[in-house]
Structure formats: C-alpha cells, structure tokens
Amino acid sequence: MSLHPNEILISPIVSEKSYSLIADRKYTFRVHKNAHKTQIRQAVEQLFSVHVTAINVSKVQPKLKRRGNTKGYKPGFKKAIVQVREGETIPIFEGAQV
C-alpha cells in the first residue's frame, strides 16, 4: 500500500507522558492504521528533515465510555514513538513544557 507522508502521520499526540519523552528526543504521533515502521521512518524524515534512530509502534485499544445509560466506544488508533538523532528536534514540539 502506497501512502503519502501526509497520510501516514495523522497528528502529534499531546499528553503529559508524550511531552516528558521530548527530553529524550522521542516524539509521539498518531499514525495510519496500515502504516509500518519503514513508512513511518520515511515520512518523519521527509516531512521534518531529521534522522530517525528508533521507532516503537503500538496499537491503542478502543475504550468503553458511558454517559448515564448510554454506552459507546472511543475508537482505537495506532501510535508511533519516534526517536531522532542527537542534536535534532522536530519544530512542532518546540516550546512544549512539561
């Protein structure tokens, strides 16, 4: 499956845990459900002009949510934690504070 880099990286994940990883040069993204590590590496390197040293990919399971008597699910997604080379940063995470 051929995906454009803009289709592979859906959005950055904004949470306390993801911002605490920035000190270790690790950035967290929500990615396309069919993307694999090689495609994620190429997309990050092409879009942000950095060199990727490691990638961890995991699937976040859907969660059951209730509001009163109504039940529903928050959809699951795939996320990637990308580590870049020493001295490089991704500019969309600049200014992030923990």
pLDDT tens, residue by residue, 45-77: 999 999 999 999 999 999 999 999 999 999 999
- Start-to-end Cα distance in the chain: 37
User: Which residues 6+ apart lie within 8 Å of 68 measured at CB?
Assistant: none
Burial of residue 24 (number of CB atoms within 10 Å: 0-12, 13-18, 19+): exposed
**What CATH code is assigned to 5-86?**
3.30.70.330
Domain positions in the chain: 5-86
- In three-state secondary structure terms, 23 is helix
Give the model's pLDDT for residue 3.
Answer: 85
